[in-house]
Amino acid sequence: MKTDISDLRGDFPILDQLVNDEPLTYLDNAATAQKPNQVVAALTHFYQTDNANVHRGVHTLAERATAAYEDARHKVTHFINAAEPAEVIFTKGATDSLNLIASTYGEANIEAGDEIVISIMEHHSNLIPWQQLALRKHATLKYIELTPTGELDMADAETKITDKTKIVAVAHASNVMGTVNPIAALTKMAHQHGAIMVCDGAQAVPHMPVDVQALDVDFYAFSGHKMMAPTGIGVLYGKRDLLAAMPPYQFGGEMINFVHRYESTWNELPWKFEAGTQNIAGAVGLGAAIDYLENLGMSNVQAHEQQLVNSLLPQLTADRQIEVYGPHDPARHTGVIAFNIKGLHPHDVATALDMEGVAVRAGHHCAQPLMETLGLVATARASLYIYNTQDDVDRLIHALNETKEFFSHELIKAE
Amino acid sequence: MKTDISDLRGDFPILDQLVNDEPLTYLDNAATAQKPNQVVAALTHFYQTDNANVHRGVHTLAERATAAYEDARHKVTHFINAAEPAEVIFTKGATDSLNLIASTYGEANIEAGDEIVISIMEHHSNLIPWQQLALRKHATLKYIELTPTGELDMADAETKITDKTKIVAVAHASNVMGTVNPIAALTKMAHQHGAIMVCDGAQAVPHMPVDVQALDVDFYAFSGHKMMAPTGIGVLYGKRDLLAAMPPYQFGGEMINFVHRYESTWNELPWKFEAGTQNIAGAVGLGAAIDYLENLGMSNVQAHEQQLVNSLLPQLTADRQIEVYGPHDPARHTGVIAFNIKGLHPHDVATALDMEGVAVRAGHHCAQPLMETLGLVATARASLYIYNTQDDVDRLIHALNETKEFFSHELIKAE
Amino acid sequence: MSLSKLNSLYREVILDHADHPHHKHALTNATTTMTVKNPTCGDVINLDIDLNEDDVITNIGFTGEGCTISQSSASMMSDAVLGKTKDEALKMAKTFSDMVMGKQHDQADLDELDDAAILSSIVSFPARIKCATLSWWALQRALLSNQQEESDGEA
Amino acid sequence: MSLSKLNSLYREVILDHADHPHHKHALTNATTTMTVKNPTCGDVINLDIDLNEDDVITNIGFTGEGCTISQSSASMMSDAVLGKTKDEALKMAKTFSDMVMGKQHDQADLDELDDAAILSSIVSFPARIKCATLSWWALQRALLSNQQEESDGEA
Ligand SMILES: Cc1ncc(COP(=O)(O)O)c(C=O)c1O
Ligand SMILES: Cc1ncc(COP(=O)(O)O)c(C=O)c1O
């Protein structure tokens, strides 16, 4: 029996507060998600009953902490349908995961003249690691461009991915335009050319069912904090054979077998990639967040957000004073919507919305090359999650109207 | 007004439990420390009132989260007496901090033929990064050896540190033998030869006053979880000039100024080294742990542990069936004590103590080269913290006696 | 309704400056030119200054793009420093910076800032402080740039 | 007093095997030799096995260092597999592994293990499971090593 998704607000006390004397309308979920009581309770329980360092201990608390930590790994394994827990590595977050791949697999396998293909809609975290790897190795970085509706241009992908390509790295879902990319098709293309496929799932895993084996990706990265887990925990999924062949990323406690004065040998997977004390409580919290999401059901999560998008997006696209970036078709859109009020700087818009209790982001959303390509310097961005309601959508629309009115003098000028 | 250190147990509900029907005696603090209610409350408060992503947000929650995160950095700055917050970088932990230095400063500055000097008592986290750097660069790794009493041999240090030395990296306090190393003197030596000084403070910062400017170290690394902060947060202190000259470690959100398709520029310190979403709540929790420690006063913390060592260590060294590694003089000893019951494997000892509710660690303590040098495969280790009491010391001694009795048959055999 | 609170930040005078910015044009043959950007929001200020032999700012102009706050701040800054000496202008930049960071400042110094003093309200909007300081930062860097180059040369 | 609980792990027979381990000696000219280590605690087992042409274990001996559990487990394992065929011994290793992991296992299979079955109590001491399995792991690797090398050769 799944929990009713329409009534979760009680699990999120943070939402029950006034901001600038208005009820908080939190629409900055693409930046980070709020945490249900269940996740905070899991942290508290861990710290107040089981806290110890893992693996290395013989005593009872250490055994309980180890079991809790590895249990979280099993939950992740099941949640993304990895073949085995050895393929699930805990990291600090998506950025850490992606840097890990670039610094180990990338460093070991990319040579001068090789090509790395990414898309122009990548978040900096799935862009700069490859850009800098290409610079270090004198490899070529290529960008897959967009269609006019802000989707990935698959025809362009066909021309960019060649036999010289060694790595293709693309986001599962855009953190700006709300597009979902055809990862399975890209993976096939990459594999046909002998390249590996890296997928940045930071904006996908929290919002839709993800099956890494069905996608057939070689690596998949995501962050806990965007899916209601604590900050400082993330995941790198990788296929066993690739992970096994890779050199370690960081060196230290727990990732070793034998350490001698002048040489060392490495632990088996996944621990080879987990040097030093990990974010143990963070992993436990991620496990609790997964429990919470699975209890709702990921298709229900997706359907709930879709319903809100179906209401919000047409209202924005219909407004002549508002410009929406990315697809205008709600059916092809996640709960991440980038827009501007024409003639107004998004920072002014975000400040004005904040006065109405509405939290949105304004800026380049860590996607400067995308902004440059769209001819923008910055946008506002509203992004939804499971605890958002039709009420939140209405409040955003209302606050946007108020904002337009307040700044009407400048808006008139801009027309 | 400082809080009375003799009565803190109420702040640590985890300690108030039965393990194998006996009251828990937690003596595994060198592995990780327990968290006072104040730290858990800070986490809960953050997640239930202020949670948002930092820096990039215009809205109220983002401003509060940013203020909380940067406030934590100010607390760290003050706690270790860094010259400015720009010199305090948040990491995942000491291991992450040390790898950061080896991968950026080390990678950029070590050349074939250069020498890196560490000590034989280093934790793997301050050993393997240098060992592997030396292997990559065809540099020479040298070890400072021990005196017969298990202290750093400063005469040996004089011969090992030469004009060829580029990096000296030594622990402030040993995680096995309870020794405190003369870091200021080593730093002077390193600087006289033009080398930089890296100090691993994982076992020092939680237990004694630390002033990085007085030590004059170039880099100083430590973990939050060993000082009652959450897991997954740590610190790298570095002198501004060195940090400013170093390339970034990881690439992604927040550590950039401008990102173009084929090149990028980096943010100013300390953010240049903080790619992607950091462990924001972890930093806030570290701030709360520092508040807790400062309220007690670090000299009081040190004095409290010293008092327990003064009771425990002589009882262990006086026992003919027990062998203690490291100095036998309590005045030269932190609250970390490694020992064995002669003829018994430390894993059997740890299991037996656990039956009495006493949590100690058994193994190589991530210091295999030290073990090899001492001619050991493993030891038991008891380690103290502020919430330990004379009662805990008494329980350990009692449990050790019970253990000797239980295994007396094997012990007789061993004599 | 709560947008009225916006008036505490976006005062009439600020909106006026944003609507009709003063000195928003490039100078030809300016003695000093400086471009600064705010990476977070992409705002850009190009500042042109004419300094005479007595180090007096005899002409000033700016171009660039940005939010209401950064545009009006550039306009008010230009008004405030025109006709001032380099040292006076630098002191005003310091006063402005102290003001928006919420530090103690002298009322007399504040009066010097003219309209620009109205941005003291930004203290309550920490995420927007950089918007207000961008043009003042450009001014500082422009005025110190020769000196800077000299001291760089020495190093 | 609570150390009595230790008896549930350290049964008399286990302590006896640890005190007086059987087969604790090296074989000269063993047909197969295998050394395995547990990195966590430094325990080492060197296992020597004589297999005849019918794949029967005709002689077995071990040396090495370790805790009470790993030493007694090696002793009991040696007792149990001596005289068994390679396949029987491998099956026993599987049974042992299932048993200590708390998985379902057949009582008849368990009986095959002899004294070694007593280590089922290790289930309640997860941190010590590796101590119990070390010698069985050595056995498996020793018996599979030829095969392994063949399949490595094929790859
Ligand atoms: C001396 C020393 N250095 C480094 C570390 C590594 O710390 P962490 O595991 O928190 O990264 C430890 C902790 O085990 C330690 O004791
Ligand atoms: C698409 C995408 N990739 C990567 C990241 C980086 O995630 P994190 O900052 O948690 O490392 C983000 C989040 O900002 C994102 O939206």
- For B243, the token pair is 């940090």
Question: How much of chain A, in percent, has pLDDT values that exceed 90?
Answer: 95
CA A59 vs CA A55, A56, A274, B41, B214: distances in Å: 10, 9, 22, 27, 39
Listed in order, the ranges of chain A carrying CATH 3.90.1150.10 are 5-31+297-409
Q: What is the mean pLDDT of residues B359-388?
A: 96
Assign C147 a pLDDT band (cuts: 50, 70, 90). Answer: low
Interval B212-230: pLDDT, tens: 999 999 999 999 999 999 9
Q: CA-CA distance, B43 to B72, in Å (whole number)?
A: 12
In DSSP terms, B118 is beta-bridged to B143, B169
**Is residue D155, in this structure, part of any structural domain at all?**
no
Interval B313-336: pLDDT, tens: 999 999 999 999 999 999 999 999
Amino acid A80: pLDDT: 98
Where would I find the H helices in A212-333?
212-215, 240-245, 280-296, 298-318
Write phi, then psi, for B411 (nearest 5 degrees): -65, -40
From B146-160, B195-209, C99-113, the region with the lowest mean pLDDT: C99-113
Residue A61 contacts residue A201 (beta carbons within 8 Å): no
Could you identify the residue written with the tokens 């808006």? A411
Residue C23 contacts residue A359 (beta carbons within 8 Å): no
Report whether pLDDT(D82) > 90: yes
Number of domains in chain C: 1
- For B221, the token pair is 């690394």
Any ligand 1 atom below 6 A from CB of B25: no
Amino acid D153: pLDDT: 29
The contacts of residue B40 (CB under 8 Å, 6+ apart) are: A43, A44, A47, A48
**Is residue C154, in this structure, part of any structural domain at all?**
no
By the CB < 8 Å criterion, does B66 face chain C? yes
Q: Check which CATH number belongs to the domain holding D129 and give it.
A: 3.90.1010.10
Report whether pLDDT(A20) > 50: yes
- Return the CATH number of B40-295, one of 3.10.20.30, 3.40.30.10, 3.40.640.10, 3.50.50.60: 3.40.640.10
The contacts of residue B357 (CB under 8 Å, 6+ apart) are: B18, B19, B20, B21, B22, B23, B24, B25, B395, B399, D2
Report whether pLDDT(B373) > 60: yes
By the CB < 8 Å criterion, does A363 face chain D? no
CA B414 vs CA A134, B317, B407, D50: distances in Å: 61, 19, 11, 31
- For B65, the token pair is 């989260």
Amino acid C109: pLDDT: 87
Q: CA-CA distance, B195 to A411, in Å (whole number)?
A: 61
Any ligand 1 atom below 6 A from CB of A276: yes
Residue B97 contacts residue B129 (beta carbons within 8 Å): no
In DSSP terms, C65 is beta-bridged to C44
From A411-415, B19-23, B104-108, the region with the lowest mean pLDDT: A411-415
Mean pLDDT of chain C: 88
Cβ neighbours of B6 (radius 10 Å): 12
- For A34, the token pair is 């709020």
Query: Is C126 in Cβ contact with B258 (below 8 Å)?
Result: no
Q: CA-CA distance, B36 to B56, in Å (whole number)?
A: 31
Which residue type, as a one-letter code, is found at position A375?
G
Residue in D3, D128, D131 closest to B356 by CB: D3
Interval A193-251: pLDDT, tens: 999 999 999 999 999 999 999 999 999 999 999 999 999 999 999 999 999 999 999 99
Report whether pLDDT(A106) > 80: yes
Taking alpha carbons only, the member of B25, B385, D98, B32 closest to residue A69 is: B32
**Closest ligand by atom to A251 CA:** 1
Q: How many residues does chain A have?
A: 415
In DSSP terms, B116 is beta-bridged to B141, B167
Report whether pLDDT(B108) > 80: yes
- For B225, the token pair is 């979880």
Any ligand 2 atom below 6 A from CB of A334: no
- The rounded radius of gyration (Å) of the Cα atoms in chain D is 15
Q: What is the mean pLDDT of residues A26-41?
A: 98
Q: Is A216 helix (H, G, I), strand (E, B) or coil?
A: coil
For residue A47, list chain B residues with Cβ-Cβ distance below 8 A: 14, 34-35, 39-40, 230
CATH superfamily of B5-31+297-409: Aspartate Aminotransferase, domain 1 (3.90.1150.10)
- DSSP per residue, A309-345: HHHHHHHHHH-TTEEEES---GGG--SEEEEEETTS-
In DSSP terms, A237 is beta-bridged to A88, A220
Q: How many residues does chain C have?
A: 155
For residue B380, list chain D residues with Cβ-Cβ distance below 8 A: none
**Backbone conformation region of residue C127, classed left if phi is above 0, alpha if psi is from -120 to 50, else beta:** alpha
For residue B355, list chain D residues with Cβ-Cβ distance below 8 A: 2-3, 5-6
Report whether pLDDT(C23) > 80: yes
For residue C75, list chain A residues with Cβ-Cβ distance below 8 A: none
**Closest ligand by atom to A250 CA:** 1
Q: What is the mean pLDDT of residues B195-204?
A: 98
Q: CA-CA distance, B43 to B65, in Å (whole number)?
A: 12
Q: CA-CA distance, A264 to B131, in Å (whole number)?
A: 9
Residue C3 CA, distance from chain mean position:
26
Q: Calculate how close chain A gets to B223, using CA atoms only, in Å.
A: 9
Amino acid A2: pLDDT: 57
The contacts of residue C25 (CB under 8 Å, 6+ apart) are: C61, C63
Amino acid C6: pLDDT: 84
Report whether pLDDT(D1) > 60: no
Report whether pLDDT(B189) > 60: yes
Where would I find the H helices in B103-153?
107-109, 128-137
Q: What is the mean pLDDT of residues A7-34?
A: 96
Q: CA-CA distance, D59 to D49, in Å (whole number)?
A: 6
B277 C-alpha to ligand 2 centroid (Å) = 7
B123 C-alpha to ligand 1 centroid (Å) = 7
Residue D129 contacts residue D101 (beta carbons within 8 Å): yes
Query: Is C69 in Cβ contact with A363 (below 8 Å)?
Result: no
Mean pLDDT of chain B: 96
Assign D102 a pLDDT band (cuts: 50, 70, 90). Answer: confident
**Is residue D150, in this structure, part of any structural domain at all?**
no
B47 C-alpha to ligand 1 centroid (Å) = 27
Report whether pLDDT(B235) > 80: yes
Could you identify the residue written with the tokens 């080492």? D44
The contacts of residue A144 (CB under 8 Å, 6+ apart) are: A117, A118, A119, A120, A152, A153, A156, A157, A160, A170
Cβ neighbours of A211 (radius 10 Å): 13
- For A156, the token pair is 């362009």
Q: CA-CA distance, A246 to A234, in Å (whole number)?
A: 19
Amino acid C154: pLDDT: 29
Amino acid D148: pLDDT: 45
Listed in order, the ranges of chain A carrying CATH 3.40.640.10 are 40-295
From A388-397, B112-121, B298-307, D139-148, the region with the lowest mean pLDDT: D139-148
Amino acid D110: pLDDT: 86
Find the domain containing D122 and state its range: 3-144
Taking alpha carbons only, the member of D92, D107, D105 closest to residue D137 is: D92
Instruction: DSSP letter for B146, please.
Output: B
By the CB < 8 Å criterion, does A3 face chain B? no
Are chains B and A in contact at 3+ CB pairs closer than 8 Å? yes
Q: What is the mean pLDDT of residues B16-31?
A: 97
Q: CA-CA distance, A372 to A378, in Å (whole number)?
A: 9
Report whether pLDDT(B43) > 70: yes
Residue B124 contacts residue B366 (beta carbons within 8 Å): yes
Q: What is the mean pLDDT of residues C74-88?
A: 96
**Is residue D149, in this structure, part of any structural domain at all?**
no
Which residue type, as a one-letter code, is found at position A135?
L
Q: CA-CA distance, A72 to C5, in Å (whole number)?
A: 46
Report whether pLDDT(D77) > 80: yes
Q: CA-CA distance, A386 to D73, in Å (whole number)?
A: 53
Assign B414 a pLDDT band (cuts: 50, 70, 90). Answer: low
In DSSP terms, B325 is beta-bridged to B338
Give the ligand 1 atom nearest the CA of B225.
Answer: 10
Could you identify the residue written with the tokens 């986290």? B125
- For B224, the token pair is 């939050």
Report the alpha-carbon angle B207-A62-A295, nearest 5: 115
Q: CA-CA distance, A313 to A305, in Å (whole number)?
A: 12
By the CB < 8 Å criterion, does C5 face chain A? yes
Report whether pLDDT(A35) > 70: yes
